[in-house]
């Protein structure tokens, strides 16, 4: 049996660049196709002499094939694209964690694209991730550019929507039961003796989850008012650069309440922080002067003022289910689009303390 000697100069190139399949082929004196056969465990197609030469070259060059390149040759990248509207929103981060864990357990990697609340970048996000050969998309976006998500479908990529619907896009949808969660928070405030309620959200702008929560609040007040004398409910959209407008909305809430009890229901953690800051500017005490229940149970909620009452979303589970739904689609499952709504949980703390008996 003859062997081909690999000199030290060939085996240990001066450059620190990662060895390529072409380097292995040159060192072993064979073609790249021969090396590929060896790497794909098809050495039965090779003579023993050639197989040994390739094996020695691979070891000498410390060659490691690129997992991405191997996956693409098989037509599989095992990559999943996640597009979020705003990664600074605690909700998005929590959903990301749940999706990432589920992907990891199933042998997939998650690639994140953050829009920074710029709906004009939705198409850019889809195109960028498609270029990386992702096998499907999880979208938690504003949903304004329906053409962007439709483009993913045209490429044959399955899509799962989280929290926000896309008009005219038929896809699996995973979300909180927004109507049920709003009723949970508003009923808690009503039972605590609060009669002047203010629902505060970010600018709605056709974002489905914001629309659903605002509509659920109006419906609750309309249905509960006949049996609860004095119950009033109004809404306000809080823009990030409009502190004065938010301050005025809270002043008016306090004035309308008179000697009664006013309270705020906030649509997410971003708005909750704005409201807490505004109440501090106005010198109003949480719980005793203005009640508050906010969507999203953040890590800091128990430590703000007397503790913030919140509606906890099952974010980890939302992310996990979204990932599993997508992986099922990637593997070929064909079903009509599914809608999966999960319940929120009320976390009662000092910001919504009941009226003294």
| pLDDT tens digits, one per residue of 9-28 | 344 444 457 788 889 899 99
Sequence-distant (≥ 6) Cβ neighbours of residue 185 within 8 angstroms: 265, 293, 295, 309, 311, 346
DSSP for 132-182, written as a single string = TT-S-EEEES----HHHHHHHHHTT--EEEESS--TT---EEEEE-HHHHH
Q: Residue 335 has what DSSP assignment?
A: -
Q: What is the mean pLDDT of the chain?
A: 87
Residues 84 and 114: beta-carbon distance below 8 Å: yes
CATH topology identical between 75-176+316-342 and 178-313+345-352: yes
CB 310 within 8 A of CB 94: no
Q: Give the residue with greater pLDDT, 252 vs 149.
A: 252
Query: What CATH number was assigned to the domain covering residues 8-65?
Result: 1.10.260.40
Where exactly are the structural domains of the chain?
Answer: 8-65, 75-176+316-342, 178-313+345-352
User: Mind listing the pLDDT tens digit for each residue in 168-219?
Assistant: 788 999 999 999 999 999 999 999 999 999 999 999 988 899 999 999 999 9
Helix or strand (DSSP H, E) at 131:
helix 122-131
pTM, rounded to two decimals? 0.78
- Whose CA is closest to 265, among 311, 219, 314? 311
φ, ψ of residue 104 to 5 degrees: the values are -60, -45
Choices 3.40.50.920, 2.40.128.20, 3.40.50.2300, 3.30.70.20: CATH for 178-313+345-352: 3.40.50.2300
Which CATH superfamily is 75-176+316-342 part of?
A: Response regulator (3.40.50.2300)
Q: Could you read off the pLDDT of 40-94 as tens digits, one per residue?
A: 766 667 888 888 888 888 888 888 766 555 555 555 778 999 999 888 888 998 9
* C-alpha closest to that of 189 among 253, 135, 131, 251: 253
């Amino acid at each position: 049996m003859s062997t081909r000697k690999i000199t030290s100069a060939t085996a240990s190139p001066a450059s620190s660049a990662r060895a390529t399949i072409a380097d292995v082929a040159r060192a072993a004196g064979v073609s790249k196709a021969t090396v590929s056969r060896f790497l794909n465990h098809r050495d039965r197609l090779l003579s023993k002499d050639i197989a040994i030469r390739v094996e020695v070259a691979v070891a000498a060059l410390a060659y490691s094939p690129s997992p991405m390149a191997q996956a693409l040759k098989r037509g599989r990248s095992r990559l999943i694209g996640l597009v979020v509207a705003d990664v600074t929103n605690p909700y998005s981060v929590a959903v990301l964690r749940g999706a990432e864990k589920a992907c990891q357990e199933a042998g997939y990697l998650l690639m994140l694209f953050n829009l920074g609340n710029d709906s004009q970048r939705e198409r850019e996000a889809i195109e960028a991730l498609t270029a990386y050969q992702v096998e499907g998309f999880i979208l938690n976006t504003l949903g304004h550019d329906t053409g962007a998500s439709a483009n993913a479908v045209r490429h044959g990529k399955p899509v799962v929507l989280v929290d926000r619907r896309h008009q005219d896009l038929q896809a699996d949808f995973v979300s909180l039961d927004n109507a049920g969660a709003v009723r949970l928070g508003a009923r808690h405030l009503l039972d605590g003796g609060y009669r002047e309620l203010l629902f505060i959200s970010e600018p709605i702008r056709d974002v489905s989850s914001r629309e659903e929560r605002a509509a659920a609040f109006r419906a609750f007040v309309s249905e509960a008012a006949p049996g609860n004398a004095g119950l009033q409910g109004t809404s306000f959209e809080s823009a990030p650069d409009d502190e004065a407008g938010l301050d005025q909305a809270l002043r008016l809430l306090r004035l309308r309440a008179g000697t009664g009890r006013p309270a705020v229901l906030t649509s997410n953690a971003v708005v909750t922080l704005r409201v807490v800051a505004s109440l501090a500017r106005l010198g109003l005490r949480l719980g005793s002067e203005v009640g508050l229940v906010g969507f999203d149970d953040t890590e800091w909620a128990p430590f703000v003022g007397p503790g913030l009452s919140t509606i906890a979303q099952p974010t980890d589970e939302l992310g996990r289910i979204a990932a599993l739904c997508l992986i099922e689609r990637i593997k070929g499952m064909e079903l009509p689009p599914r809608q999966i709504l999960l319940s929120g949980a009320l976390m009662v703390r000092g910001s919504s303390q009941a009226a003294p008996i």
